[in-house]
Amino acid sequence: MVDGATRDGYGAGLVELGASNPDIVVLDSGVSDSTRSKKFGDKYPDRFFNMGISEGDMVCTAAGLAQAGKIPFATSFACFLLGRSMDQTLVSVAYSNTNVKMVGTHSGLAVGEDGPSAQMIVDLAYTRAIPNMTVIQPADWEEARQATLALAELKGPAYMRLGRSNVKGIYEEGSYKFEIGKASVLKQGSDAVIFATGSMVEETLKAIEQIGSDLDVTVVNISTLKPLDEATILDQVGKNKAVITAEDHNRIGGLGDAVCEVLMNHRVSKPYKRIAVNDTFAETGSASELYEKYGLSANHIVKALKEVTA
């Protein structure tokens, strides 16, 4: 298992793709060192395009490259990638159903000291609502590497959400196979199921360590938010007495809403708690400080577990 940021797993995956597929091209909007797309650019400079601070142009250029038969990965901080290119994303990528892979790094409150303007907490809501768009958020370095490889095989638009902070490795190469649209059960229990995504998978596992043998908790990594693995969600809800969702994203439009839609559509009723940003802007601080203050830390997950199973 590799400890590290999911953005680092993405960089490693791009380098692998560059060696195996000459149609892979990578674009970045002036932050390639931070997004780790520079790893690809250093090895394959003829297939790397630094577009500068021009995200709309980058997305349209990526769409043009896709129409020419290339497989473009358009990369930037999540706040810039989507915040400055929504029209181009909707029309040139999604409506046109072009084979563009959009990759947003430095997402959520975990971006920490970069401050509120960089804390993208609405991107899952944006992208889940866009027709034709696949939405992925890996939980660790290895899953990010594998997800990058899988996106190259996927035909059509996709958004992958990555983090800035290092997370503990969860998966080992050779013993785990990432599949688009498939959730991963990390621990099986019967008292409550926690559906977590991205960095909140690590936070959930910390909470399970804290709670010890007091509760028997199921942990499910939802790394594909669209299309959602409804079968696994319904199966695990059926095996447990209560439900929690955990995400570093606004409580509106993300994983919590997605899971609730599944339960409502299938008329399933269980005690439920949501761990998410409570529809507010945060402030500058370390990731751990912000997680504690805004209700995302392992301590808050433990509290929610106790409340939902009381």
Place of tokens 């020419």: 68
Asked, for residue 169, whether it belongs to a domain, the answer is no
**With contact defined as beta carbons under 8 Å apart, do 29 and 53 qualify?**
yes
* Per-residue pLDDT, 186: 98
157: nearest Cα among 126, 184, 182? 126
| Total Cβ atoms within 10 A of residue 50 | 16
Do residue 25 and residue 145 come from a single domain?
Answer: yes
Q: What CATH number corresponds to the domain at position 145?
A: 3.40.50.970
Q: What is the pTM of this model?
A: 0.97
**Residues composing the chain:** 310
Residue 32: pLDDT band with limits 50, 70, 90: very high
DSSP H or E stretch at residue 250:
strand 243-250
pLDDT digits (tens, 9 = 90+) for 198-212: 999 999 999 999 999
pLDDT digits (tens, 9 = 90+) for 160-197: 999 999 999 999 998 999 999 999 999 999 999 999 99
Do residue 13 and residue 154 come from a single domain?
Answer: yes
Range of the domain at 297: 184-308
pLDDT digits (tens, 9 = 90+) for 269-285: 999 999 999 999 999 99
Return the biggest CA–CA distance within the chain.
59
Q: Per DSSP, what are the bridge partners of residue 195?
A: 220, 245
* Per-residue pLDDT, 14: 98
Final residue in a domain of this structure, among 161, 192, 225:
161
* Per-residue pLDDT, 272: 97
DSSP per-residue codes, 62-80: HHHHHHTT-EEEEEEEHHH
**With contact defined as beta carbons under 8 Å apart, do 103 and 145 qualify?**
no
Do residue 15 and residue 153 come from a single domain?
Answer: yes
What average pLDDT does range 67-89 have in this prediction? 97
% of the chain residues with pLDDT over 70: 100
Question: Which pair of tokens denotes residue 13?
Answer: 């995956």
* 145: Cα within 13 Å, side-chain hemisphere: 22
Do residue 29 and residue 76 come from a single domain?
Answer: yes
Catalytic residues: 55
Give the number of domains in the chain. 2
* 92: Cα within 13 Å, side-chain hemisphere: 22
* Per-residue pLDDT, 114: 86
Q: What CATH number corresponds to the domain at position 243?
A: 3.40.50.920
Asked, for residue 49, whether it belongs to a domain, the answer is yes
* Per-residue pLDDT, 208: 96
What average pLDDT does range 9-13 have in this prediction? 98
* Per-residue pLDDT, 115: 86
How many Å apart are CA 71 and CA 25, to the nearest integer?
Answer: 6
**Considering the chain, what is the average pLDDT of its residues?**
97
pLDDT digits (tens, 9 = 90+) for 92-146: 999 999 999 999 999 999 998 888 899 999 999 999 999 999 999 999 999 999 9
Final residue in a domain of this structure, among 161, 195, 225:
161
**With contact defined as beta carbons under 8 Å apart, do 85 and 130 qualify?**
no
